[in-house]
Amino acid sequence: MNIRWLCLLAALGLAVGASGPVSHRRGVRGKSMMQKPKLVDVVLTVLEDSGRPGSLEYQGACTGSGDITENFGIAAPLQSDLHPVQALQRAFVGDPELTASQDASGLIRVVGGDVPTDLLNLRIHEVVFQRERDPRDAEYKLLALPEVHAYMQAHHITFIQTIIGLIPPPSGRVLNVTLKGVTLSAALDRIAETFPGVWVYGECTRSGERHVLMFFHEFSVQPSTR
């Protein structure tokens, strides 16, 4: 799949306000008991409300329409005064496959299911972020690296077409750094630290093919400090 086309498609959809986590933020807490919040919506809501950047990795199921879905047992987080890890742990109490933690760097890590991490652990030779003012452009540059393409081809991995979230106005932050010999996930972390937000990695398998959803959610209100 052409990643540039995918990113442009997503950007077009995002710009016109396609239904996604940010546009549903109020809806997550306002849903009736008959509706179960989805993992991505809940995680992005909690982390955006707290201004804490991080990551979400989960194993989902491929749908007939070429999308990815999940069926974790999640309760809506209601205690906004809690630390985000505590809020997420309460939301995940009904499903042992869901975990939330904070690592030594301060990033919030959420994992759902036995998701493969080989692609995220891929060590890249070099990526140059030069005056990047949009985290989505930085993510595109990262995913367009030849070694990423080669690894995905060799392991039968393709990207899922999707339109998620809203693009907030420019934050004024700039990513200017050259990373060498780092993992794909570490490079994504650097983007999330510069443009506070959450990178999301979802994966499903169908007919021996691995399908991956990857996108960056930038917080709509950028925190002044972490």
pLDDT in tens, the chain (226 residues): 433 434 433 433 333 233 333 333 322 333 333 344 599 999 999 999 999 999 999 999 998 888 899 999 998 887 678 999 999 999 999 999 999 999 999 999 999 999 999 999 999 999 999 999 999 999 999 999 999 999 999 999 999 876 555 666 677 889 999 999 999 999 999 999 999 999 999 999 998 899 999 999 999 865 544 3
Is 87 among the domain residues?
yes
Give the pLDDT of residue 171: 75
Give the pLDDT of residue 147: 96
Is 223 among the domain residues?
no
Beta sheet of 209-218, edge-to-edge order: 98-102, 108-112, 54-59, 197-206, 209-218, 157-159
Is 94 among the domain residues?
yes
Is 206 among the domain residues?
yes
Strands (E), the chain: 54-59, 61-62, 68-69, 98-102, 108-112, 126-132, 157-159, 175-180, 197-206, 209-218
- Residue 6, CB half-sphere, CA atoms under 13 Å: how many? 19
Strands (E), 103-208: 108-112, 126-132, 157-159, 175-180, 197-206
Is 99 among the domain residues?
yes
Give the pLDDT of residue 77: 80
Q: State the total domains in the chain.
A: 1
Domain span holding position 112: 3-218
Is 33 among the domain residues?
yes
